[in-house]
Chains A and B, each alone.
Chain A
């Protein structure tokens, strides 16, 4: 009896999996069910609330479509991307490089430790004054805020990754003729720490989408600015519309990066 059920479950599992697409139908179906439940609850809740408190899912969908059709959405997205991309790239590169350097060199780590510990708890938002003073109310200023956020995540991920590289691998590399530190870092430390570094980059990319809103708080145009303006006008449907845009962008980038990560870390 019990084995019958088990067999049936196994058969079910076999038929619902499409491994060649990497899609698990059972999980997908459950996910869609959960999403439907969430939207239904939202819809029920919205029946008893005015639109400026909670608009119905349908109202949001209508707004989403009209906003997309009017071209406003692409404009806002294009503006945000202009600081999201440079901010993420610069912050990631600096964070990874600094993390590797300090994770590797005890000397550099000791020298910089007090400064690092002082600066670390500063939230990127607190640096808006500097962003305006140094770069102005423009994409560069917003990119600066985003870069700061990306920097710390990547710094700590890479630092931890490098610290965790086994001494034995370094010994082996030395016995095989690797002489300089730079060569050791290039051929052993970075590949060995690459899983942590990749996780840092991926976390950073997500965090940077969140920071897009914060980085536009002082007047730089983009999705965040739209959300803030719509909030002030109590256009909650518009707020949710742009929140959805952010989520979709995050999902898109994260999916692409996950595929890259899988390919780079195929050896794991």
Chain B
């Protein structure tokens, strides 16, 4: 399938620190963050609110510079967003003046992909995320779950090797979330992309990830990395699932 040519990417996070100046003095948001992601891996960053995971996400995406340290994506330092990564936010951030089709086509248009190839690819992606029939709808006409599908298709369109997702399913209802999680796993398997997925939901992390990077607060730092050795699809009813869940939760609370 044409959606599938870039393999996953390698990400190295090296000694990332982040400090903010506030009225109360300097705040240490992130301290000494180190981890590595191999090509095609699915990583979840999990932690309570205030642990700096969104800050780390923004640094990974090149939206914010670290105070020290660096993020290395496929061998080069990340300083600003680039087309090697597709970014998906919790609040979707679709272009409201564009239809589903136009939103998905945005990046391809910027890359000067010829029109025929573009529309073919856009249609493939729309089918992939299950939005056939809504090509000409505007974002205001879509539900939260549908908007997030569009955002995902839009991010996949430019064929990034890394998919960065910040609590992407945090704003949808529980049933939709479960459906989107399953679909994301399918898409990930089909496209071999590296996925970095931020969430505060331990269950979601255990359900999705190859490895869970567990963060704690004061200062935001890594408490441990848990490898989830369970076959997919994973079930919460599985006792082993429960053990992993406990382990991750205990790490957060230490």
Contact = CB atoms under 8 A, between A and B. Distances in A.
B61 interface: yes
A176 interface: yes
A176 B155 CA distance: 7
Contacts of A268: 96, 140
Interface string B92-120: 01011110000000110011000000000
Given A175-B81, A177-B158, A267 B91 contact: no
B97 A175 contact: no
Contact of B93 (A166, A178, A187, A266): A166
A169 B87 CA distance: 11
**Chain B residues touching A, range:** 20 to 34
A174 interface: yes
Contacts of A178: 110
A184 to B, nearest CB: 11
Given A174-B80, A177-B111, A178-B110, A169 B93 contact: yes
A138 interface: no
Contact of A171 (B87, B97, B107, B157): B87
A236 B19 CA distance: 72
B110 A177 contact: yes
A168 interface: yes
Nearest to B110: A177
A230 interface: no
A192 B98 CA distance: 10
A181 B127 CA distance: 33
A188 interface: yes
B93 A176 contact: no
B135 to A, nearest CB: 14
Contacts, number: 61
A192 B110 contact: no
Nearest to B154: A176
Nearest to A178: B110
B82 interface: yes
Contact of B106 (A168, A171, A173): A173
Contacts of A45: none
A92 B157 CA distance: 38
Nearest to B64: A171
A112 B213 CA distance: 49
A194 to B, nearest CB: 7
Given A166-B93, A169-B93, A175-B87, 10 more contacts: A171-B81, A171-B87, A172-B89, A173-B106, A176-B107, A176-B158, A177-B111, A191-B97, A266-B138, A267-B96
Interface of B: 61, 63, 80-83, 85-87, 89, 91, 93, 95-98, 106-107, 110-111, 138-140, 154-155, 157-158
9 contacts: A169-B95, A172-B93, A175-B61, A175-B83, A175-B85, A176-B157, A177-B111, A188-B95, A191-B98
Interface of A: 166, 168-169, 171-178, 183, 187-188, 191-192, 194, 266-268
